[in-house]
Structure 1
Amino acid sequence: MGGKIKTETLLAQAGHYLDQKTGAVVPPIQPSTTFARDEQGNLYDSSRIYARDQSVNAEMAEAVLCEMESGASCKLFASGMAAATALVQTLRPGNRLVAPSVMYWSLRAWLISFCEDWGIEISFYDPADEADLVRVVNKAPIQMLWVETPANPTWQVVDIARAAELAHSAGAQLVVDSTVATPLLTRPIELGADYVFHSATKYINGHSDVVAGALITAKEDSRWEKACSIRAQHGGILGPFESWLLLRGMRTMHVRVERACENALAFAQHFEGFPGVAEVIYPGLASHPQHEIAARQMQGGFGGMLSIRFEGGVERTAKIIGGLKYFLRATSLGGVESLVEHRALIEGPDSPVPDDLLRFSMGIENVEDLIQDLEQAIESA
């Protein structure tokens, strides 16, 4: 027996957990906030003083994520926003950040505000256009390149290896938001990324009951140390119960993501060319402009997220979403239940998202039920 253990086994066994004293196969919750010393003043565990930055349960989940992503270190945060903002806050006034024009809306809004307040230049590129990415990166000195792939909610796919080459040739570091791809489908560090970001609320937890974020680094450099310091000092940590729930969710991530990918592909294929449908946007379709890139860097599936644009404009699209019976009209993604959202109405008048677009997060239900649900909503609209 030899070789690296398969990811599915790592996840199912919660990082090979086994309590050597009791034989328990499920990790316990350790809620203690502080750790005692013996009579001589020595810590019983020299690695633990205070739980804000030394949580037993967080470290269990971090170890599994770190191994999955082929990283040097991983830290969990209280939310995806806490993780992303901690890394961006390592930039200094006068630095330049390049980010995609289509990305997680809340983070995009925060980036614009933060960079303006702190004298950091922010430039946006079109994630569907590699030439535009090259032009924006090379326009001026750059310290950080941010990539979200696939990009929410229009699912452009950026070539990570090419982005890493561009960033490094410009003396910058590459951050990849791989929330939608998950570590099961894409491993950005293996493609040259310096940091990987996840909203762990989504597929990593997968049950819509934990808010969490994760950062993984390729090496423990000075920027990583600064981000970890910001996490500890700002207190953006994940509690022990939430960390325990996160690890519990991770134990089934491989089967959940596999089923979501299968459902998304079948759903996308069914509705491509369907009467009343203007466009189906899914990286797994041959019609997707970056399908070849997705096929190269997404192994085992194309994700559980897709968007559909409908004929008849915003009014008919609103009727369609209102007529759905099985899809839940709710924000977020990556849970076992299927969700749908009219993103342009949620984001407001400044949204770059077309107002005839619905975003679908495919769960693990029977896909025929989901197909029939959208069919009847289209016919009734």
Structure 2
Amino acid sequence: MTQYDDRSSKNRFATIAVGAAEIETHPHRGGTNDVVPPIHLSSTFEWASGDEANEHVYSRAGNPTRAALEEQLARLEGGDHALAFASGMAAISTAMLSLVPPGGHLVASDSIYGGTENLLTEMLAGHFDVDVDFVDTRDPENVSAAVDSETDLIWAETPTNPLMRLCDIRAIADIADDYGISFGVDSTFASPYFQAPLELGADVVVHSTTKYLNGHSDSIGGAIITNDETVFEQLAFAQQVGLGNMLSPFDCYLVARGVKTLPARMKHHEENAMAVARFLESHNRVARVYYPGLESHPQHDLASEQMSGYSGMLSFEFDGTPLELEAFIEGLDLFTPGASLGGVESLIEVPSLMTPDEVSHGEATAEIPETLVRVSVGLEDPDDLCEDLRTALP
């Protein structure tokens, strides 16, 4: 599959990421000829009427730094509109609270980030009486069977956190179209560089900008991109007025800076992840490796069809006891044990040990194996990474 290069723009992805697509207007320069959009920290702006009226009045409702980032993110995804939020979960909760009314119906993937699962089960189902159906979205027929005329939203991750499962975006988008409902995709693991859900028919794309978009583990944020004007107006109202959970100007600056190197970083992440995945697959203390780039992944063909690459995230099942697994983690030097992902440094996480509150134990969602290890492969030398794993594995 070739890289998505048009995305509603005459420029290719790397050109858009760097920001050269702004050459025609440079709306952020304001007569100062800044090459980089400046950070506007002001909470309020001077009011004027008529021809002198300012586009921005109050930073919660609109900030020039945030507007510049949102335009950049929309271009990356080939969307018409983007909104930047204070966290990935802020983006997800805004999307769900805006698009699913109290007492409504939502169909979600049963393999999903623990924070999203908790939002669905504790807040939407528990406080807003939303009927949530978790289904195995690897088979579109499961989605079709769960959706009916009362459904308000279909929600999926692809690849999923942390089991690296995929869903057929185009097939599920067709189901959503048949019922006239919205389909949202959390595409954080793939990044806009390797996957373009809007091009495949999704209505809403969500990213935790904390991860690959920022890429340097120094900013928390989220984003929603859409082509649907009505959906955008609902989301914008919730972001700016109802929930007030927009991204700060300084974090907008950090994400915009990170996006400029996204293509180069993602290529390197993928190369390193493939090397690590192949090493782990050959090791006798590894029971199974989950990486869409491996031919052994049961959805490798789908990954090759709807993604232009396989990103830097993988998981594997350690063949040993939890005590041995903990000793392995403690024996690593280059891989830092910790949550989050998508930064230049390699991180490793055992969900059952490090984030037990986010590990599913219910029947409705996919259970995460106790010895599952999630790896965010960074930009270090791949030989050094493999050697670190080789030394630490018992």
Q: Residue 154 of structure 1: SS of its match in structure 2? A: coil
Query: Deviations 1:184-211 (Å, cap 9, x if unpaired)?
Result: 1111011000000011110000011111
Aligned to 2:76: 68
Aligned length: 373
Matched, 1:4 2:10: yes
Q: Aligned match of 2:324 in 313, 316, 326?
A: 316
Identify the residue that residue 358 of structure 1 maps to in structure 2: 373
Q: Which residue is equivalent to 1:370?
A: 385
TM-superposition CA deviations, 1:201-255 (whole Å, max 9, x none): 100000111111100112111x332221111122101111111111011111111
In structure 2, stretches of 5+ residues that fail to align are 1-5, 362-366
| Match status 1:305 vs 2:313 | yes
In structure 2, distance between residues paired with 1:196 and 1:42: 37
Choose the corresponding residue for 2:103, options 91, 94, 106: 94
Asked if 1:220 is matched to 2:229, the reply is yes
Opposite residue 63 of structure 1, the aligned amino acid is: E
Q: Secondary structure in 2 aligned to 1:65? A: helix
Deviation string for 1:341-373 (max 9, x for gaps)? 001222247442101111000111101111001
Match of 1:190 among 191, 194, 199: 199
Q: Taking structure 2 as the reference length, what is the TM-score of the superposition? A: 0.90
- What's 2:292 paired with? 283
Mapped partners of 1:177, 1:331: distance in 2 = 18
- 29, 34, 39: which is aligned to 1:24? 34
The answer for the alignment partner of 1:34 in structure 2 is 44
State the Cα distance separating 1:328 from its structure 2 match.
0.5
TM-score (norm 1): 0.93
Indicate conservation of the 8 Å contact 1:69/1:187, yes or no: yes
**CA distances 1:253-298 after superposition (whole Å, capped 9, x unpaired):** 1111111011111111122131211011100011111111110111
2:163 matches 1:154: yes
Corresponding position of 1:205: 214
- Is the contact made by 1:12 and 1:252 (CA closer than 8 Å) also made in structure 2? yes
In the TM superposition, 1:331-342 aligns within 5 A as 331-342=339-350
**Is residue 239 of structure 1 aligned with residue 248 of structure 2?**
yes
The answer to whether the Cα contact below 8 Å between 1:14 and 1:248 also exists between their aligned partners in 2 is no
CA displacement 1:129-165 (0-9 Å, x = unmatched)? 3433333235x73110001000000100101000101
| Aligned equivalent of 2:142 | 132
Tell me the distance in 1 between the aligned counterparts of 2:82 and 2:296.
36
| Structure 1 pair 43–31 and aligned structure 2 pair: CA distance change class (3 A) | farther
In 2, Cα distance between the equivalents of 1:45 and 1:241? 25
The 1:43–1:203 alpha-carbon spacing in structure 2 relative to 1, beyond 3 Å, is: farther
Match of 2:179 among 167, 170, 178: 170
| Matches of 2:40 and 2:290, distance apart in 1 | 44
8 Å contact 2:83–2:223 — kept in the other structure? Answer: yes
Give the Cα separation in 2 of the matches to 1:204 and 1:53.
23
Alpha-carbon RMSD: 1.9
Instruction: Identify if the C-alpha distance between structure 1 residues 45 and 267 changes in structure 2 by more than 3 Å, giving closer, same or farther.
Output: farther
C-alpha deviation, 1:84, in angstroms: 0.7
CA distance in 2, matches of 1:5, 1:198: 22
**Which is further off, 210-219 or 11-20?**
11-20
Partners of 1:273 and 1:279 within 8 A in 2: no
Question: Is the Cα contact below 8 Å between 2:11 and 2:21 reproduced in 1?
Answer: no
| C-alpha separation in 2, matches of 1:326 and 1:240 | 33
1:193–1:218 Cα contact (<8 Å) kept: no
> What secondary structure does 1:143 align onto?
strand
Residues 132 and 317 of structure 1, relative CA distance in 2, 3 Å threshold = farther
Q: Residue 356 of structure 2 corresponds to which residue in structure 1?
A: 347
> 1:111: which partner in 2?
120
In structure 2, distance between residues paired with 1:128 and 1:193: 16
SS of equivalent residue, structure 2 residue 151: coil
SS at match of 2:255: helix
Question: Aligned partners of 2:140 and 2:294: how far apart in 1?
Answer: 20
User: How far apart, in 2, do the equivalents of 1:253 and 1:137 lie?
Assistant: 36
Q: C-alpha offsets along residues 14-48 of structure 1, whole Å, 9 cap, x if unaligned? A: 6536647444322211111212134xx44744421
Distance in 1, matches of 2:172 and 2:321, equals 35
Structure 1 residue runs of 5 or longer lacking an equivalent are none
Is 2:213–2:258's contact at 8 Å kept on the other side of the alignment?
yes
2:261 maps to which of 252, 277, 282:
252
2:291–2:313: 8 Å Cα contact kept in structure 1?
yes
Q: Deviations over 1:296-349 (max 9, x none)?
A: 1111x2011000111113222222112111101110000000000001222247
Identity of aligned residues (%): 37
Compared CA separation, residues 238 and 43, structure 1 to 2 (3 A): farther
Distance 2:130 2:300 in 1: 34
